[in-house]
Amino acid sequence: MRVRDTAALRAYVRLLGQSERSLAARAGVGHATLNHLLSGRRTTCSAGTAAAIEAALGCPPGLFFEPVRFSSSDPAAGPASAGPDGRTA
């Protein structure tokens, strides 16, 4: 999952008066992970981490995180993975 807007996520956490450590504890994620997402040092995380953070914030799923979508024409996406039959999707 990708952070939709780092500044908005950071502002919402501040608006609620949450410390990073208390939010990380409530979400069950590491403080460093949350800190990196709030600072923009990291922009992606697992779906479970995103869901846990949004739940701890009391906001609807998908408000601050969106699925990462790779285009087949995106060179940053890397090579396609072959399935069990050896073919790519």
13: domain CATH number is 1.10.260.40
Report the domain count for the chain: 1
Q: Which element (helix H / strand E) includes 3?
A: strand 2-3
Structure tokens at 33: 């992970």
CB 18 within 8 A of CB 52: no
CB 64 within 8 A of CB 8: yes
Residue 88's pLDDT is: 47
CB 2 within 8 A of CB 67: yes
DSSP assignment, residue 59? -
Residue 75's pLDDT is: 54
72 occurs within a structural domain: no
Containing structural domain, residue 39: 2-66
Q: Is the pLDDT of residue 9 over 60?
A: yes
Residue 55 C-beta-side C-alpha neighbours within 13 Å: 11
CB 43 within 8 A of CB 33: no
Residue 26's pLDDT is: 98
23 occurs within a structural domain: yes
56 occurs within a structural domain: yes
Average pLDDT over residues 3-27: 97
